[in-house]
Chains A and B, each alone.
Chain A
Amino acid sequence: MIRAGKRAEVLRSNTPWMCLSCYHCVVRCPQEIEITDVMYAIKTIAEKEHTYPSNVGPDFTGVFIGQARRFGRSWEIGLTARHYLRHFPLRLPGMAPMAFGLFRHGRIGILPHRIEQRKQLQAILKRADELERAQ
C-alpha cells in the first residue's frame, strides 16, 4: 500500500498497533515475508512521525522502554500503575484486588531492580541511538 502511494493511510492505521507478535502470518506466508517485522517497521515510523491513531499503545511501549533503559530491567508495578492512572483510571477500582493479589502471593516487588553496569548499558544505548538517527 505504501508503494501504491497510500503512505498516510498506512501510517494512520491501527493495524500494526493491534499486532500481537503471534507470528502466525510469518510461518504461513508463502513468500516468506517477515510480516511481524513489517508491522514493527510501520509502528517505528508512525511513532517517529506521530501519526498513530491512539496514544495508548505508543505510550505503554514508550514507558516500558524508558524504564528498561534506565534500570536495565523492566519494572512491572511502576509500568502498570502509571499506565492505568493515565489511560484507564476507571479500571483502577477493579484492578485493586488484582494488585493486592500480586503482593499477597509475593509475585511483585515494589522497587525496580537495577542492574550493576547501568553506565555500560547506557553508553551502548547512546551510541545505538546515534546510529539509528543516522540511518
Chain B
Amino acid sequence: MSGYLYYPGCSMEGSGRSYRESLEGVLEPLGITLEEINDWNCCGATEYVSLSTTPAYAMIARNLAIAAGEQKDGESLVAACSACYLNLAKADHYMGKQPALNARVNDALGAGGLHYDPGTVRVRHLLEVILTDVGLDAVKAAVKRPLTGLKVAPYLGCMVPRPDVTGMTSDHDQPKSLDMLLRALGAEVVDYPLRTECCGGHMTQIAPRVGLELIRRLVSEAERLEAVMMVTVCPMCQINIDAYQGEMNAMFHTKHKMPIVFFTQLMGVAFGLEPKKMGVGREYTNASKTLAKALKAAPELALAAAGAPPAPRPRPDKRALPMPTMPQTPGMADSEVQE
C-alpha cells in the first residue's frame, strides 16, 4: 500500500461528486491510500491567481503548509482536480524560483502561524500517480470486467499536460497517458486530436458564445470519430461539456448527446464495481445506458479477443464483380500457390 496526502478541492464536494465517489471506490483495488489534509481551503481556481499575486499564492500556500505539517515520510500531495493540481504545483514552483514572492507569501502565512518551504511537498496529479506508481500492469490485473467494445474519446483538458511546471512530460499537445490507461481497462480508444484542447473554463459564465463554441468543437469531433462517450480527468471539463450541452445544442441547432464521465468511474466499472456506486447516472447526458449496452455486448467480444475461433468468412457475393484468380498449376498444393 502506498500512502499519499490528498487535496480534494471544492468541486469534488459538489458538482464533481461522481469523481469523488468513484475515486474512493478504486483506491483499494489500486492498492493506494489517500489521507485528506485537515481543513484545507479553496485553491482559488483560475480566478484568484488571475487578479492578484501575494493573496492568491498565500491562499494556495496555506494548503501546502498544512500538507507539509502532516507529512510523516515525505508523502506527495495528490490532487484529482486539474486546476487544484496546477495551482498547488505552481505555487510551490514559483515560491522556489522567486525569492521575493516566497518572502511575501511566508510573511502572510506567518500572520496565521504557518510557514512553508518550497520543495517540501511534491504535488502530483492523480492520473500521473496511477500511471507511474501503480502502473498499467497492476491496473490490468485488477480488471474483472473489461470494457471491451466501449468506444471512448480520451479528454485530458489543459492543465494536466500544461504548463507542466514540474517537467513531467515532453508531449504537451498529444500525450497518450489517458489513452493507455483506458486501453488497459479494455476500452477501445479513438485517436481524439482535441484531447488537450480547452473546454472553455469560465467562458460559459462570462462569454457564452465563446464557451459554447469550444464545447461544440469537442463534442462534435468525438461524435465524428464515433466515440460513444468522452472520458475526462477534470471536474471543470466534465461540468462544462455535460451541463452546457443543452444550451450549446440550442445555440447551434445541433442534437449532440455525448455523455462524459470521469476516468475513475470507468476504472471502477472495469474493476467489477457497481456503476451506480461509481456515480454513473449523475450526468445530464446519462452514461448508464451507453455503458450498459457496451458491457452487454462485451462477453462475446472478449471471447473473440481471447483467441476463440474466428467467425467464418462470408461467402462470396455472386452478384459482385469477379475477383482476379491465379491459374492453377497441376500438382501444386493450394497453400504453395498462395505463397
B37 → chain A closest CB, angstroms: 12
Q: Does B181 belong to the interface (CB within 8 Å)?
A: no
Residue from the list B14, B163, B203 in contact with A20, Cβ < 8 A: B203
Most buried by B among A17, A44, A72, A105: A105
Enumerate chain B residues within 8 angstroms of A107, measured Cβ to Cβ: 14-18, 282
B172: A residues at CB distance < 8 A: 27
Residue in chain B with minimal CB distance to A45 = B51
| A89 contacts partner chain B, Cβ-Cβ < 8 Å | no
Q: Which B residue sits closest to A88, measured CB to CB?
A: B208
A15 at the interface (CB under 8 A from B): no
Are the CB atoms of B59 and A68 closer together than 8 Å? Answer: yes
Which of chain A's residues 80-135 have a Cβ closer than 8 Å to chain B? 80, 83, 87-88, 91, 94-95, 97-98, 101-102, 105-109, 113, 115-117, 120-121, 123-129, 131-132, 135
Decide yes or no whether B73 CB sits under 8 A from chain A: no
Question: Which of A18, A21, A91, A98 is the most central at the interface, judged by chain B CB atoms within 10 Å of its CB?
Answer: A21
A82 to B202, CA, bound (A): 15
Residue B162 is within 8 A (CB to CB) of chain A in the complex: yes
- Count CB-based A-B contacts (< 8 Å): 182
- Which residue of chain B is the closest to A84 with respect to CB atoms? B205
Query: CA–CA, A80 to B107, complex, Å?
Result: 34
Is there contact, CB below 8 Å, between A117 and B17?
no
A121 and B247 contact, CB distance less than 8 A: no
Which of B109-117, B183-191, B261-269 is the interface stretch?
A: B109-117
B44 touches A102 (CB 8 A): no
A124 CB, min distance to chain B CBs, angstroms: 4
> Closest Cβ of chain B: how far from A42's Cβ, in Å?
10
- What's the tally of chain B residues with a CB closer than 8 Å to chain A? 64
**Structural contact, B59 and A124, CB atoms closer than 8 A:** yes
Query: In the complex, which residues 31-67 of chain A have their Cβ closer than 8 Å to any Cβ of chain B?
Result: 34, 36, 39-40, 43-44, 47, 56-58, 60-62, 64-65
Please name all residues of chain B whose beta carbon is closer than 8 Å to the beta carbon of A102 when the two chains form the complex: 15, 243
**Which among A18, A23, A43, A105 is the interface contact of B210 at CB below 8 angstroms?**
A18
- A65-B48, A107-B14 given as contacts; is B55 within 8 A of A91 (CB)? no
A22 at the interface (CB under 8 A from B): yes
A39 to chain B, nearest CB (A): 8
B118 to chain A, nearest CB (A): 17
In the complex, A26 has a CB within 8 A of chain B: yes
Please name all residues of chain A whose beta carbon is closer than 8 Å to the beta carbon of B13 when the two chains form the complex: 73, 109, 113
- In the complex, whether B137 has a CB less than 8 A from a CB of chain A is no
Q: Is the CB of A131 within 8 A of B108?
A: yes
Which listed residue (A21, A98, A106) contacts B282, Cβ 8 A?
A: A106
Q: DSSP class of A's interface residues: helix, strand, loop or mixed?
A: helix
Q: Is the CB of B284 within 8 A of A126?
A: no
Interface residues on A, range: 35 or more
Residues of A within 8 A of B283 (CB): 105
The answer for the CA separation of A129 and B48 in the assembled complex, in Å, is: 13
Residues B44 and A117 in contact, CB atoms below 8 Å apart:
no
Residue-wise, chain B 83-114 has the 8 Å CB interface mask toward A (1 for contact) of 00000000000000000000011011111111
Inter-chain contact A83/B52, CB cutoff 8 Å: no
Min CB distance B290 to A, Å, is: 17
A contact residues around B230 at 8 Å (CB)? none
* A76 on interface, CB distance cutoff 8 Å: yes
A13, CB-defined interface residue at 8 Å: no
Contact partners of A26 in chain B: CB under 8 A: 162-163
A3 cross-chain contacts in B, Cβ below 8 A: none
Interface residues of B (CB under 8 A from A): 10-11, 13-18, 39-42, 44-55, 58-59, 62, 104-105, 107-114, 158-159, 162-164, 172-173, 197-198, 200-203, 205-208, 210, 243-244, 246-247, 250, 281-284
- In the complex, the 6 A-B pairs of residues with the closest C-beta atoms, listed nearest first: A23-B162, A127-B111, A128-B108, A22-B198, A128-B55, A120-B112
